[in-house]
Structure 1
Amino acid sequence: MSVKPEPASALFAGPFALATVSAPDGPAFPALVTPEGRVLDLRSALGEERLTTLAVLDRWETLLPRLHALAGDSGLPRTPLTDLRVHAPVEPRQVFQSGANYRQHVIDLHLAHRAPGDERPDDERRAEAAEIMDRRAAEDLPYVFTGLPSAITGPYDDVVLPAWAEQPDWELELAVVIGRPAHQVSVADAPRYVAGYTIANDLTDRATVFRRDMPQIGTDWLRSKNAPGFTPLGPWIVPAESVADPDDLRVTLKLNGETMQDESTKDMIFKVARMVSYASRTARLLPGDVVLTGSPSGNGMHWGRLLRDGDVMEGTVTGLGTQRTRCVAEGPA
């Protein structure tokens, strides 16, 4: 089962996006999608029958001018997007996730967790938290950890809620897609290594974030974030040149039609370039890798309402399109 995309006058910003699609019973293939929802099979357009989306990103700098030319060629055969299944736009080799990266979100968490005996008014505690955020942005480092590519699923696929997940929660995020090998790149140079942007919903089971049996160890991201399908990705990759400012995009998540998250990436403590640069200080980023930039305020824990069977999440980021996923409770083993 999947939630089909709805037709729209313009699905995304720019002249084209890169996607991975398939006919109902066919293999997945890389495609160029127009804002009007017309799809060009890049295997035939580029004359490479075994071409994958990851292979396109491996040659991103070389192929980008060709993709522009293909997008402008109205004589090429195209298929309506509504006739195809949309998969996650890429199968990355590596996934980098970040936490506590939205100023208002972290301030809200600070206010929600009042230390015993702290009787100060909320205004004073909020000002304290804001000062801490300013200092963190100026002096500290992003908080980045790794996820599993096997957790990725398509932008319209059902999300299975594992039977063991007691508190499954949503976290809509701007996702950065790498277009060149990057290692120890500077903040100033980092944008040159970005192929484009897409949408990710970095689901988390809040009940398993911290190990109860080993509290001294800290967070358990394997258990809490990496169940199959816990990272809906897509629907497509919009080239970086079509996104005027990734640090000024609206991130909005609706649950069953009700807005739960609605914040600008302006509120990120560490901006996109700094996040990519920081991840590259340790790891070698590869084309097709995905860097998630954190989630704004408005998660389920904030509302006291976690995900359950039948819920439909609709996530939108300015200029990147919309993903819609339905939650399905895991059946008996």
Structure 2
Amino acid sequence: MPTLIDGHGRVIDYLRVSVTDRCDLRCTYCLPQAFKGFEEPANWLTHEEMARLVSRFVALGVRKVRLTGGEPLLRRGVCDLAARIKAMPGVRDLSVSTNATRLDRMASGLKEAGVDRLNISLDSLDEACMTRITGRNCLNEVLAGIRAASQAGFRPIKLNMVVQDGVNDQEVMPMVMFAREHGLVLRLIEPMPVGDTGRATTGRNLSALGDALARELGLVPQVLGRGAGPARYWQDPRSEMSLGVITPMSQHFCEACNRVRLGVDGTLYLCLGQNDQVPLGAWLRDGATDADLDDAIHAAMARKPERHEFQERPEKIIRFMAQTGG
């Protein structure tokens, strides 16, 4: 079986694909309210081009694919693209990251397309707090999306909560109780200094908070199966709820990194916290053969950075999170 190995001996088997850099929200840690620097639609890869690039990664050993954005459900035909990727031999796990504002209308279609899992952004259960963070009163839409996903049969459903000091950190326990009530996986995430918005966001040390919550709630350490990423998890023995923490700042997990990212224009980003990138989309449009693309991917893996420098050089990444793709 083909295997992609980077220059530090890590197996790269996970590809995140941004199908659009547009979003219908303006979360304070992601995009500025007045941001207009989106990629021109003419530079977006078509679904056919996107599928071709993904197929090269799958042929070389990628087994997990996630569709991201921006907000991926804004892109027309995303269910068709998902079905196309899921049908590729070798794809074990296909997931979607979404803010869920459109999920109530699309959950069934995503399930029928073969999507295995959903990650849903939800930073607060308080309407005013949610509006402050996202720039829009969208809480009811997101909650409706979560209900629709559950009714469509998605298991597990992961909630991603970016915990900001003095903004929504008081919402952590209500979110835990919500996840317990509905049998969800709640993942607490430290904000990263990506773009001006990320650098302006102050997070909490979630390594310490996760340990404290586990003790207080009687949670037990858990190892999740398929699709599990960098989070540390605990299981609630009294319900189906799991709690995870993702700690790129207080306890980085770069030594176990298994992923790379494709932007909507086909740019390959080798690290979320570095500037290393490869213009695969441009080369594809210039007539690159599959063999050319495979060679370029192998060469890129050889120079994938060992780790981010968020602590040492937080000013380094000027692009915004939505431009890289989740």
Q: TM-score, normalised by structure 1?
A: 0.27
Q: Which has the higher strand share?
A: 1
Structure having greater relative contact order (Cα 8 Å, sep ≥ 6): 1
Q: Which has the higher helix share?
A: 2
Q: TM-score, normalised by structure 2?
A: 0.27
